[in-house]
Amino acid sequence: MILALASLSAAFAATPPASDSLLNEPGRGYAVRLDAEIGFLAPLAHTIQFGHDGTVFDYVADGAQNVLFPTVRFDAGLDVGKRETFTLLYQPLDLRTETVLHDDILVDTVTFAKGEPVDLRYGFSFWRATWLHELLPAPERELSVGLALQIRDANISFTSGDGTKAFVEHDVGPVPALAARLRLPVGKTAFFGAEATGIYAPIKYLNGSNVDVVGALLDASVRGGFAMPHGTDVFLCARYIGGGASGTAKNSEGFGDGYTANWLSFGTLSLGASLR
């Protein structure tokens, strides 16, 4: 379990479609919205450990994640009436780096030696469905709260440069969360928005798994932008993606003891556009 969000791209969800919208007809009881973002992601902190005796590996200090990575984000929304919003979000997240180890490390039961080149992959893409209920159904303001269900797709690997040694972890799992969103107008055409999706809880009681793990998720963002003709918006968005999990899987299929600790803090800055 880890992080991972409904997008602040939905900041106009409670706003009626523009009269000249390319996507929606005015006066209709529902409205469709499409959002996309492109920008960069900066790992602020990121550690992982496999096995109680395994090395706590710092991806930023030792795994070459001290650089910027390209990032994109896609969101589709459906507004029903004046109060209900449903969104589907896809956030690809696949960080691949190469490094030469400064010290020996133990990953589960696999040892990689000091001075050895290692190829690293940290894939944690996720999909999220969110329902939001508008508390103040005003045409130009929004305060919504709701629930989210995130599905994360983990693909993590350590592979020696010569390909003779490898540790590979694959996992798919659901993560329920709470969501909230705020939108305020600024002048006649500008807007400000903020959103947060997150949770902190024992995972096994939430998703019914056999994993005795404590985990957390926080996806929080702020944005500012402008409404353009034909129901389009452009915006600048700053986002924090953080969280992680630590604990032991009782029925681990790996060679070690099943313990994993995975915690990260990422920041993103992106440009985006909405069609509503």
pTM tops 0.85, yes or no: yes
**Model confidence pLDDT, tens digit, residues 102-139:** 999 999 999 999 999 999 999 999 999 999 999 987 77
Res 227: pLDDT: 85
Can you give the residue ranges of every domain in the chain? 8-275
**Model confidence pLDDT, tens digit, residues 237-261:** 999 999 999 988 765 555 678 899 9
**66 by DSSP, 3-state: which?**
coil
**Model confidence pLDDT, tens digit, residues 55-102:** 999 999 999 999 999 999 999 999 998 899 999 999 999 999 999 999
* Average pLDDT of the residues in 35-54: 97
Cα 127 to Cα 149: distance, rounded to the nearest angstrom: 8
Cα 186 to Cα 107: distance, rounded to the nearest angstrom: 51
13: confidence class by pLDDT, cuts 50, 70, 90: very low
| Cα radius of gyration rounded to whole Å, the chain | 21
Fold exhibited by the domain 8-275? Lipocalin (2.40.128)
* Average pLDDT of the residues in 37-53: 98
Cα 64 to Cα 84: distance, rounded to the nearest angstrom: 43
Which of 260, 192, 231 is CA-nearest to residue 55?
260
